[in-house]
Amino acid sequence: MVRDFFLGFIKIHILHHAAHAPIYGVAIIAELRRHGYDLSPGTLYPLLHSLEAAGYLAREERIVGGKVRKYYILTDAGHRTLDEARPRIRELVDEVLDGHGPTHLPEPAANDDADAKAPDATDG
């Protein structure tokens, strides 16, 4: 379960760096390691491929030192997703780390239907 949370952070981190310059596997592994994530290529490359398949990254191949290196670039969809994620990240950081926002959820009103559907994860 913890791995799933960290993979979400890692995906955002990848999109963030790809927004600034093309990225490649070994370099992003080193950058993520700097932040305490110990990713193997066997974890990172499927993640990059899934972000590419979802349309958030585009891949281009370049010859570097006589070898093909795959670079990943943020797409328009990736930019939109990152732009949408940033205020949510700020809000989360403000609430979780800085102590802003409610610490307890409100009690349901007496007239709320007990069988009411739980709010969607995307609801505020």
State residue 115's pLDDT score. 53
What's the confidence (pLDDT) of residue 102?
79
50 within a domain of the structure (yes/no): yes
Does residue 37 lie within any of the structural domains? yes
**Helix, strand or coil, per DSSP, at residue 98:** coil
Chain-wide mean pLDDT for the chain? 88
Domain count along the chain: 1
Do the beta carbons of residue 51 and residue 72 sit within 8 Å?
A: yes
Given a contact cutoff of 8 angstroms between Cβ atoms, the answer to whether 25 and 45 are in contact is yes
Within-domain flag for 101? no
* Residue 114 within any structural domain of the chain: no
**At CA 63, angle to CA 58 and CA 64, rounded to 5?**
110
Quick check: is 107 in a domain?
no
pTM for the full predicted model: 0.78
Whether 105 is in a domain gets the answer: no
| Lowest mean pLDDT segment, chosen from 8-17, 20-29, 30-39, 115-124 | 115-124
Which CATH number is 36's domain given? 1.10.10.10
**Tens digits of residue pLDDT in 47-88:** 999 999 999 999 999 999 999 999 999 999 999 999 999 999
